[in-house]
Chains A and B, each alone.
Chain A
């Protein structure tokens, strides 16, 4: 049996039926990692020993009849999520030797449910990027075409799931960093509503936009992962005290009669004909499922990129001020003064994209420019959010492309930061408004993946997951796997 092709739901059943043990399963995934990593390079760290210890504990829980759906299931975590005793680098030289003394809230939750952490995934440095080329260590390759990028910044997480290195991974999404790589690697990616999942222990990039979410083979598995990680955490003051929901249990309901809006602005702005055609084909499927489809307009969409690239770097410039070489992380010592030590530490420790964004953010927040750039962007953010609110008075969900193109070649956009920023044009508005969105596999062009995105109103994860699940019941894009 090739366990690397199994979903979480299938794995859980086979584990509980004693078809294989959690230890055997973990060993099989460690073998798979050893076989494909030289080509895909999705992982920063493989945690074999700890994983086998956790797997043994999972086998004991299964034997005692205390197993849940994640007991014994291997998961991979983006290397921006703190793990106690396991190196957490953010794919930056700045945190090359950083070993957190605590687990992030989501890691505690996954461990409490018996999940087995098998590795930490490569990413764009400090989650800044759209291709995983900004990792300070190495570039991850797209399992569907090794000469192409996996997307970013959760490119390692997406590539690892697509390559069968684990049935599920966690990523973080600040402007599309779960959904765009999900689209590029043909996996399912969920960006939950801002505040639904604790950010405690997520190394901060842009605090008002960051949100942790799962990358999985299908929607049912996304729901299982969301059941585990969603919930209030008093250690994160932006965590919302929502009632606990059963996202997996909500699947399978009829979607007949749901009203879906299709904002026309998402089909402009560099969206290629092949992506547009694939999304239109998906819309036909939703129509056949009984949904009512209607074109709509969100006119301020065109300004979302500018809003994002003012707000996110501004918050990043403040969050990354903590890397001064004093308490932890890289420290440049051979200097005469405190200020010189700090400047050298930051100048050497950060890579080019991180420096670019710190510079952008510092500029937008500086005296004389604060109102014209930062406050203006925050006001336009209000307009964008209001447009979504109005749309959701009429529609149950919105359908758009996830990424404007198929995965591009490694190195193709490296020299032009603005062209790279356009990769997230379809996903950025959702973070600005704090909404949930689900990225689904939806087709191929020239053998390269294409996806579409279901956007929901705040805390409507049940609706968008149910819609995505209904789509996957009548299509098989999500079942196709790359040959590596």
Chain B
């Protein structure tokens, strides 16, 4: 199971994860090794077996539609890295 350098770069781009050149080589080796061990999964016969996403089966968990106090604006914005009054300042999404 060998991941190419291009595949590593592609995954990093999908994850929006900045990685340096030295990390690319290291991750290429480590991910190839780890995924190589996990190819054993193909040995398990899962024909007709449904996937399990959650160990406790619950569906349609509904909340009560009741008004309740929310956090104050100042509390919500207290951790924002960059503020402009009551707004969070970010870089332009459309340029």
| A328 at the binding interface (Cβ < 8 Å) | yes
Contact B8 A359 (CB under 8 A): yes
Contacts of B71 in A (CB 8 A): 101-102
Contact B16 A418 (CB under 8 A): no
Q: Tell me the nearest residue of chain B to A196, going by C-beta.
A: B56
Bound-state CA distance A98–B78 (Å) is: 9
| A257 at the binding interface (Cβ < 8 Å) | no
Contacts of A421 in B (CB 8 A): 34
Bound-state CA distance A385–B90 (Å) is: 45
Known: A327-B79, A356-B27, A383-B46. A417 touches B34 (CB 8 A): yes
Query: Which of B18, B61, B78, B90 meets A101, CB within 8 Å?
Result: B78
Bound-state CA distance A348–B38 (Å) is: 29
Contact A300 B44 (CB under 8 A): yes
| A347 at the binding interface (Cβ < 8 Å) | yes
Contact B17 A418 (CB under 8 A): no
Bound-state CA distance A358–B58 (Å) is: 27
B68 CB to nearest chain A CB (Å): 11
Interface readout for B69-86 with A: 1 if CB under 8 Å, 0 if not? 001000110111110000
Q: Tell me the nearest residue of chain A to B91, going by C-beta.
A: A338
Contact B37 A418 (CB under 8 A): yes
Contact B15 A317 (CB under 8 A): yes
A68 CB to nearest chain B CB (Å): 27
Known: A208-B53, A347-B19, A433-B55. A359 touches B12 (CB 8 A): yes
Bound-state CA distance A307–B52 (Å) is: 11
Known: A101-B76, A381-B51. A240 touches B58 (CB 8 A): yes
Residue from B11, B31, B55, B56 whose CB has the most chain A CB atoms within 10 Å: B55
Interface readout for A344-385 with B: 1 if CB under 8 Å, 0 if not? 111110101001101110110010000011011111111101
| A263 at the binding interface (Cβ < 8 Å) | no
Contact A434 B31 (CB under 8 A): no
Contact A341 B41 (CB under 8 A): no
Contacts of A372 in B (CB 8 A): 42
Contact B14 A366 (CB under 8 A): yes
| A268 at the binding interface (Cβ < 8 Å) | no
Contact A346 B34 (CB under 8 A): no
Contact A382 B52 (CB under 8 A): yes
Contacts of A363 in B (CB 8 A): 3, 7, 11, 31, 35
| B2 at the binding interface (Cβ < 8 Å) | no
Known: A337-B95, A350-B17, A355-B19. A383 touches B44 (CB 8 A): yes
Interface residue tally for chain B (C-beta within 8 Å):
53
Bound-state CA distance A346–B13 (Å) is: 11
Contact A380 B44 (CB under 8 A): yes
Contact A328 B79 (CB under 8 A): yes
Query: Which of A326, A329, A378 meets B90, CB within 8 Å?
Result: A326
Contact A237 B51 (CB under 8 A): no
Contact A381 B80 (CB under 8 A): no
For window 39-54 of chain B, which residues contact chain A by CB distance below 8 Å? Answer: 40-44, 46, 49-54
Contacts of A327 in B (CB 8 A): 79-80, 88
Contacts of A246 in B (CB 8 A): none
| A306 at the binding interface (Cβ < 8 Å) | yes
Contact A379 B19 (CB under 8 A): no
Known: A194-B56, A362-B11. A343 touches B17 (CB 8 A): yes
Query: Which of A208, A238, A366, A458 meets B11, CB within 8 Å?
Result: A366
| A234 at the binding interface (Cβ < 8 Å) | yes
Query: Which of A97, A337, A347, A435 meets B17, CB within 8 Å?
Result: A347
Q: Tell me the nearest residue of chain A to B8, going by C-beta.
A: A359
Bound-state CA distance A356–B28 (Å) is: 10
Q: Tell me the nearest residue of chain B to A421, going by C-beta.
A: B34
Contacts of A345 in B (CB 8 A): 18
Contact B55 A329 (CB under 8 A): no
Contact A378 B52 (CB under 8 A): yes
Contacts of A343 in B (CB 8 A): 16-18
Bound-state CA distance A331–B88 (Å) is: 12
Residue from A234, A307, A345, A359 whose CB has the most chain B CB atoms within 10 Å: A359
Q: Tell me the nearest residue of chain B to A324, going by C-beta.
A: B16
Q: Tell me the nearest residue of chain A to B36, going by C-beta.
A: A418
Given contacts A373-B41, A417-B33, 20 further A-B contacts (CB under 8 A): A195-B55, A303-B44, A306-B37, A306-B41, A325-B81, A326-B88, A328-B81, A330-B81, A346-B16, A346-B17, A347-B19, A355-B17, A358-B17, A379-B46, A380-B41, A380-B46, A382-B46, A382-B52, A385-B55, A418-B34
- Can you name 13 A-B residue pairings with CB atoms under 8 Å? A240-B58, A324-B16, A326-B81, A338-B90, A338-B91, A343-B17, A355-B19, A360-B34, A363-B7, A379-B46, A379-B52, A380-B41, A418-B37
Pick the 8 closest A-B CB pairs, nearest first: A434-B55, A347-B18, A378-B51, A331-B81, A328-B79, A379-B46, A343-B18, A101-B75
- Chain B residues at the A interface, C-beta cutoff of 8 Å: 3, 7-8, 11-12, 14-20, 23, 27, 30-31, 33-35, 37-38, 40-44, 46, 49-56, 58, 61, 63-64, 71, 75-76, 78-82, 88, 90-93, 95
